[in-house]
Structure 1
Amino acid sequence: MESKKSVGIWIRVSTEDQAQGESPQHHEQRARWYCEAKGWTVATVYHLEAVSGKSVMEHPEAKRMQKDIKEGFITGLVFSKLARLARSTKELLAFSEYFQEHNADLISLQESIDTSTPAGRLFYTIIAAMAQWEREEIASRVAASVPVRAKMGKTLGGTAQYGYRWEGEKNAKRLVIHEEEAAVRRLMFEIFLQCKRKKTTAKELNKRGLLTRNGSKWTDNSVDRLLRDPMAKGMRRANYTKSTGNKKHWELKPQDEWVFVDCPAIVSEDIWDKCNNYLNAQAQNRKPLGRKTIFLLAGFVTCHCGRKMYIYHNHPVYSCRQCKNRVPMDVVDNAFHQMLEEYLLTDGDVAKYLAQSERLMAEKQALLANSLAESKKLKRQMEDLEDMRLKREITSDRFLVRYKPIEEQVAGLDTTIAELEAAIASINVQRMSSDLVMQEAKKLHEQWPTLQFEQRRTIVETITESIVVEKDEVTVCFSHLPAPHLSENAGTRRRDYRGS
């Protein structure tokens, strides 16, 4: 049996919020009701009452929360609204990226964001787009100054390439030859001219105990990079790469943006040209790698024995190596599409669920409005009694007799209000998720022939829970969220493929 999802509750209520009646206890109770409605276990509560939004990330409770996420103690965080999690966009991006990195969910009750649902997962997409935009804005400002500095021959940051070093003060640095490294780099060219093999060159350098600057062994890739770089023949190349967002990967800019600056040469232009002519000829003769095959339903297809089924050796057949179960890829694809059509066009479960959700939402909202109004009225009565007591217009005994029942009634209403708010948030999250699933599934069915592979794959990932291949049938479980009173298999379809 699958274990319950373990989550934490995040409580950060400002002094101003508390003055307006939003107590930490109220926020916690509402979050607990939401977790109970979802069947989740509340593992811990993080209290950051009256904490400034600017210091959230460095707060001890925030550090504890991140540690719990990293160690898997919790897999989700429930909070009242995004502004309570973080006040700045930068901080929100940081939290979101951290949660996505550790496969954990963010649940905001007010914004109806629950990243454990298909609709909520769009939140990560939006946040990632915002983060990318922010990175590109910063990069564009930095990039604007790079060509100017490059043409002036100034350093653009970072360490000098192997065989060189920067010399001088910070704002007046110049590139000079590092004699010991330059000798190794010259030897690299000499060895390659003799053997004409990058791996052999690397092995020979390593055999002689001549390692890289950081003490690593040479590889064919590191040899290729240094042989090809024109800096060795006295042409320092700058402003020729840009970041891809991944620290370990970069890509070349258009050549018309490159900047070349004279620098001290390690080898002659003739030697550099000979080596690079060999490298270019070898690259042209090498058979290019074929495009990696990507299959639409890969990763979702599972054998009835519980093992994943894969397509091996480019044969379009899903196979299970455990029990030798096999089914052609096009059979699974066609069955998926047909079951999707049946599910959308002949099944009223989702539509019925949405209609019932609307009615239930209206009922809960009406009850909430009444409860809030009644609570507000009773709190005014409490304030009047308190004022009377301060003015000694009522005795202590009479005050307690009249005040205590009202106080208990208000406490009961506060619990009811928290429960209703949590129920409304839960219904809203489910309704949004079901709406999204229906829209995306209809796109898959209606526009299937015209959608690009990447679009179809994204939609499949959004609406599909699993695809199980039995001996004579395919079972697809779609990921809409049926109401509790509907069948557990409302989103499941089966089709006999052996006899079709």
Structure 2
Amino acid sequence: MKNCAIYTRVSTDIQAEKEFSSCEAQEEKIKSFLNSQNDWRVFKVYSDAGYTGVNIKRPALQELLADLKKEKIDVVLVYKIDRLTRSPKDFYQLIEFFEQAKVDFISITERFDTSTPAGRLLRNIMLTFSQFERELTSERTKDKMLERAKKGLANGGLTPYGYIRQDKKLIPHQKEAKEITSIFETYIETGSPASVYQMLKERRIKNRSGKNFSKTNISHILRNVVYIGKVKNKEEIYQGIHDPIISEEIFALAQKIHKEKLKNLRAHKNFLFGGLIKCEECGSHMTSSFTNKRTHGKLRRYYYYRCTSTMKQGWQACSVKQVSAERLENFCLENLERISVDKNYVENLVFRLNNDNQTPLRAGYELTDGCSKFST
């Protein structure tokens, strides 16, 4: 038995009241088509009366799409394609959505039926053209951005801190420009983004969202060529038409300090659980880090998993701060070894992963022979 969703729409309230074009009339004709099919039943009728078809911001359509994600529906039926949408772009996207949800789509008057070979062929042709149009649009956008960069114009996105936009041109913001200068001067004096962070915090200098600058924000500012009057497109740098805030000499010195720090920050260790560990207290990711300590005249390096909130917001942001990499990795490996010989636990874990409603994309795990041999 196939569950069928009926979708109807009319653009205006006046049209909705007309006998031959109302949502009720569309529904009646679709149900007549359904009665001619074997083992098809109406799951639900979704009706948008008085909503335009130029976009998909319609309550009933959004409800339909939500139900499709829950895998409740096998077929979506409309009276005509333009009842679903009048936008070719939206139609391509909806067809892609139906394809991903493994749902057939039928327009009963135009015989557009993706449950048939001919319908699937037409659908695939339409999706191919949709992909072609997206790639073409992407290429046009890249070409426009390159041309803007060659003319010295900054591309779209967030306006860099220290500037405002006037007539599509970057103009230095007097107050913020002074703060950018302070950021570079403090970094050159101390060689530490943490010191810059502390300076901004002490002076109560906030970003445009009213929050403290994170160390990531500070690092981005220190490497942004926009502050020396240039613009960057991919890896190419072009002379901009806007006024610089920082001299090229100061900027070059900041980059030299940054490169020297990178050389010293190489950890020389493979962290087994890099990107996988989260801080229990604040939920932030734990990243690899190390410190050098001199003991009995010898320099020794200690490795840690450090809470990223302490890097972005200061050392006191999280009480966990950092955990010994050796201890954490040994703890995880010992527990994995213990779990691997517990066949019942592994089988239950696979069952939970495959039946967890919160993680539908993970369904399909199996206890393979490679895993089973550890638990026999």
- Indicate the TM-score class for this superposition, using the shorter chain for normalisation: 0.5 to 0.7
Superposed CA offset, 1:218-269 (max 9, x none): 111110111111222x33214x1xxxxxxxxxxxx243xx422254232332
Alignment of 1:271-282 (within 5 A): 271-282=250-261
| Counterpart code for 1:55 | G
- TM-score when scaled to structure 2? 0.55
Is 2:176 the counterpart of 1:176?
no
The residue that corresponds to 2:30 in the other structure is 24
Rounded to whole Å, the distance in 2 between the matches of 1:94 and 1:143 is 22
Superposed CA offset, 1:348-407 (max 9, x none): xxxxxxxxxxxxxxxxxxxxxxxxxxxxxxxxxxxxxxxxxxxxxxxxxxxxxxxxxxxx
| Counterpart code for 1:9 | I
Q: Evaluate the alpha carbon distance shift between residue 83 and residue 163 of structure 1 in structure 2; reply closer, same or farther with a 3 A threshold.
A: same
| Counterpart code for 2:151 | M
Q: Find 2:115's aligned residue among 91, 112, 116.
A: 112
| Counterpart code for 2:257 | Y
Rounded to whole Å, the distance in 1 between the matches of 2:79 and 2:132 is 20
Deviation at 1:321, TM superposition (A): 11
Rounded to whole Å, the distance in 1 between the matches of 2:375 and 2:178 is 73
The residue that corresponds to 1:287 in the other structure is 266
The residue that corresponds to 1:63 in the other structure is 59
Conserved in 1, the CA contact under 8 Å of 2:149 and 2:155? Answer: yes
Deviation at 1:8, TM superposition (A): 3.0
Conserved in 2, the CA contact under 8 Å of 1:202 and 1:220? Answer: yes
Rounded to whole Å, the distance in 1 between the matches of 2:193 and 2:341 is 39
The residue that corresponds to 2:199 in the other structure is 204
Higher-RCO chain (CA-CA 8 Å, sequence separation at least 6): 1
Structure 2 counterpart SS, 1:23: helix
Rounded to whole Å, the distance in 1 between the matches of 2:164 and 2:375 is 73
Conserved in 2, the CA contact under 8 Å of 1:75 and 1:105? Answer: no
Deviation at 1:48, TM superposition (A): 7.3
Rounded to whole Å, the distance in 2 between the matches of 1:9 and 1:320 is 49
Conserved in 1, the CA contact under 8 Å of 2:162 and 2:172? Answer: yes
Q: Evaluate the alpha carbon distance shift between residue 87 and residue 159 of structure 1 in structure 2; reply closer, same or farther with a 3 A threshold.
A: closer
Q: Evaluate the alpha carbon distance shift between residue 182 and residue 74 of structure 1 in structure 2; reply closer, same or farther with a 3 A threshold.
A: same
The residue that corresponds to 1:9 in the other structure is 6
Deviation at 1:315, TM superposition (A): 10
The residue that corresponds to 1:437 in the other structure is none
Rounded to whole Å, the distance in 1 between the matches of 2:346 and 2:218 is 46
Conserved in 1, the CA contact under 8 Å of 2:7 and 2:45? Answer: yes
| Counterpart code for 2:238 | V
The residue that corresponds to 1:162 in the other structure is 161
| Counterpart code for 1:465 | G
| Counterpart code for 2:115 | S
Moved more, 62-71 or 132-141: 62-71
Q: Evaluate the alpha carbon distance shift between residue 190 and residue 28 of structure 1 in structure 2; reply closer, same or farther with a 3 A threshold.
A: same
Is 2:218 the counterpart of 1:223?
yes
Superposed CA offset, 1:95-126 (max 9, x none): 256679xx85532363228xxxxxx9xx89x9
CA RMSD of aligned residues (A): 5.1
Q: Evaluate the alpha carbon distance shift between residue 272 and residue 5 of structure 1 in structure 2; reply closer, same or farther with a 3 A threshold.
A: farther
Rounded to whole Å, the distance in 1 between the matches of 2:75 and 2:197 is 54
Q: Evaluate the alpha carbon distance shift between residue 195 and residue 96 of structure 1 in structure 2; reply closer, same or farther with a 3 A threshold.
A: farther
Structure 1 counterpart SS, 2:366: strand
The residue that corresponds to 1:361 in the other structure is none
The residue that corresponds to 1:143 in the other structure is 142
Alignment of 1:124-135 (within 5 A): 127=127, 132-135=131-134
Gaps of 5+ in 1: 16-21, 36-41, 114-119, 241-252, 295-311, 333-460, 476-495
Q: Evaluate the alpha carbon distance shift between residue 165 and residue 58 of structure 1 in structure 2; reply closer, same or farther with a 3 A threshold.
A: closer
Identity in percent: 19
Is 2:185 the counterpart of 1:190?
yes
Structure 1 counterpart SS, 2:245: coil
Rounded to whole Å, the distance in 2 between the matches of 1:499 and 1:164 is 62
Deviation at 1:209, TM superposition (A): 0.9
Structure 1 counterpart SS, 2:212: coil
Rounded to whole Å, the distance in 2 between the matches of 1:285 and 1:5 is 64
Q: Evaluate the alpha carbon distance shift between residue 133 and residue 271 of structure 1 in structure 2; reply closer, same or farther with a 3 A threshold.
A: same
Higher helix content, 1 or 2: 1
Q: Evaluate the alpha carbon distance shift between residue 259 and residue 198 of structure 1 in structure 2; reply closer, same or farther with a 3 A threshold.
A: same
Conserved in 2, the CA contact under 8 Å of 1:82 and 1:108? Answer: no
Conserved in 2, the CA contact under 8 Å of 1:159 and 1:165? Answer: no
Structure 2 counterpart SS, 1:76: coil
The residue that corresponds to 1:378 in the other structure is none
Q: Find 2:364's aligned residue among 465, 469, 472.
A: 465
Structure 2 counterpart SS, 1:175: strand
Alignment of 1:271-420 (within 5 A): 271-287=250-266, 313=333, 319=339, 325=345
Deviation at 1:47, TM superposition (A): 5.0
Rounded to whole Å, the distance in 2 between the matches of 1:107 and 1:195 is 63
Conserved in 2, the CA contact under 8 Å of 1:11 and 1:47? Answer: yes
Q: Find 1:78's aligned residue among 42, 54, 75.
A: 75
Rounded to whole Å, the distance in 2 between the matches of 1:10 and 1:32 is 20
Deviation at 1:323, TM superposition (A): 7.7
Conserved in 2, the CA contact under 8 Å of 1:10 and 1:45? Answer: yes
